[in-house]
Amino acid sequence: MAKAGANQGYGGKATLARAKALMAKAPLIDGHNDLPWVIRQRTGPKGDVAGYDLRKLHNDGDTDIPRLKKGLVAGQVFAAFIPSDIPHPGRATLEQLDIIRRIGETYPETFVPVLRASDMAKARRARKIGMIMSVEGGVGLENSLSPLRVWHAMGARLMTLCHNGTLDWCDSATDVARHDGLTAFGRAVVAELNRLGMIIDCAHVSAKVMHDVLDASTAPIVFSHSNARALCPHPRNVPDDVIDRVPDNGGLVMATFIPAFLNPAIEAWQKPLRDKGGQGFGPDWEAMVATHAAEHGPCPKADLGDVATHIEYIAGRIGAEHLGIGSDFYGGPVTPTGLEDVSRFPYLIAELMHRGWSDRALVGLLGGNFMRVLKAAETEGTKLRRKVAPLLGTIRDFDGPEANY
């Protein structure tokens, strides 16, 4: 894979200045950031946004207000992430959504909630960062459709169907498949998300679920933080046969910065840890990594050039208009060299400029493509709500009395 270095790669100061000038005009929307989970874990009362203080630089992390501004981030999708095995997942999801809501309330001079696609333009005029709420993992539904409408009412506009664990209705990419894709209840979740106008996110789902969602969804979908499996065989990445279907759906693959999804040498080094049940995040994972490194040597590294190579590969298959960026900052303890925190986004754009990308293609990658999908999901939801009643019921109403509820 291509490498980015001090005197090459991103093209030097002149190319970086061009990238920043373009980003000043074309909004960057990052499709995934796990800051709310970090706030939950690192504050006294869980979720003390004011106590975490986003106004100061956090040297132990990668996201704060000074660096979001330095990185020219115009829109940020903050994920209400919870692990698949967390106790009381319904309550935990609401707590995470509340953290995102209070980020906006605590720093109104910096953030504007984005509830409609048109709100991004309002945020730009106000010189603020548009804040989009997502739910990462449908475990919080607790096998009922009603929470979808509550999450939407709270402001969520995107849902990642599952996380690292297979649910009672959806197979995960990183767990044992139990359903050969989506169950009938899973298809009902897709239909209700379409009706609500929420973007469906197929990061984390199995390849069969990816196909099932592409078959079922009437609105464009996204892979909010995934790369190309052909370049790196991590199960979280998107196979070519799925990538090739994305244009017909109108959706996006949003390239991510997680090193194990970028470099096959890292994936091979980490695979034994996943086979032992490692989840790829949290203190238990970090301890497993330290032990493995002591026995087998340090984990290989990824860099900014690897991200650009995945972006170029996907663009080569389906066109730049079906690409976005979903960093997954805070999604793991390590970031690629050159993309250490949210201030570094301009360097990735400079790298692509150095590789010959046009301004038009970069405007789409930065956020134009995501805005198209957000607007399309919103439009489809408005149309469906005029003629389709809310879907009601639990998993047993769709998958039968033997389903877990």
- The string of pLDDT tens digits covering residues 18-43 is 999 999 999 999 999 999 999 999 87
Residue 383 has pLDDT above 90, yes or no: yes
pLDDT at 2: 39
- The string of pLDDT tens digits covering residues 388-405 is 999 999 999 999 999 988
- The string of pLDDT tens digits covering residues 196-226 is 999 999 999 999 999 999 999 999 999 999 9
- Is residue 179 annotated as part of the catalytic site, yes or no? no
Residue range 281-299: mean pLDDT, rounded: 86
Residue 4 has pLDDT above 70, yes or no: no
Place of tokens 């196909």: 211
The catalytic position among 62, 64, 119, 136 is: 136
pLDDT at 114: 98
| CA neighbours closer than 13 Å in the CB half-sphere of residue 366 | 29
- The string of pLDDT tens digits covering residues 360-376 is 999 999 999 999 999 99
The catalytic position among 58, 179, 204, 322 is: 204
Query: Could you tell me what percent of the chain has a pLDDT over 90?
Result: 87
Residue range 277-282: mean pLDDT, rounded: 76
Q: Which two tokens stand for residue 274?
A: 């996943």
Q: Which two tokens stand for residue 266?
A: 């890292």
CA gap 387, 87 in Å, rounded: 37
pLDDT at 10: 73
- What separation, in Å, do the N-terminal and C-terminal C-alpha atoms of the chain show? 47
Q: What residues are paired with 228 via a beta bridge?
A: 238
- Is residue 34 annotated as part of the catalytic site, yes or no? yes
- The string of pLDDT tens digits covering residues 158-169 is 999 999 999 999
The catalytic position among 119, 303, 328, 399 is: 328
130-160 b/e (C-beta count within 10 Å ≥ 16 → b):
bbbbbbbbbbbbbbbbebbeebbebbbbbbb
Task: Give the chain's mean pLDDT.
Answer: 94
Q: Judge: domain 12-263+301-396, CATH 3.20.20.140.
A: yes
- Is residue 225 annotated as part of the catalytic site, yes or no? yes
Question: pTM (2 decimals)?
Answer: 0.95
pLDDT at 281: 75
Question: How confident is residue 5, by pLDDT bands cut at 50, 70 and 90?
Answer: very low
Determine what percent of the chain falls in helix, strand and coil, rounding each to the nearest 5. Answer: 50, 15, 40
Q: What residues are paired with 144 via a beta bridge?
A: 394
The catalytic position among 58, 152, 163, 292 is: 163
- Domain residues of the chain, as ranges? 12-263+301-396
Contact criterion met (CB below 8 Å) for 15 and 319: no
CA gap 311, 231 in Å, rounded: 11
- The string of pLDDT tens digits covering residues 82-110 is 999 999 999 999 999 999 999 999 999 99
Q: Amino acid identity of 57?
A: L
- The string of pLDDT tens digits covering residues 312-347 is 999 999 999 999 999 999 987 789 999 999 999 999
Residue 141 has pLDDT above 60, yes or no: yes
pLDDT at 369: 98
- Is residue 152 annotated as part of the catalytic site, yes or no? no
- Is residue 136 annotated as part of the catalytic site, yes or no? yes
pLDDT at 287: 87
Q: Which two tokens stand for residue 19?
A: 């990238």
What DSSP assignment string belongs to 49-65?
Answer: HHHH-TTS--TTSS--H
pLDDT at 3: 39
Residue range 61-81: mean pLDDT, rounded: 97
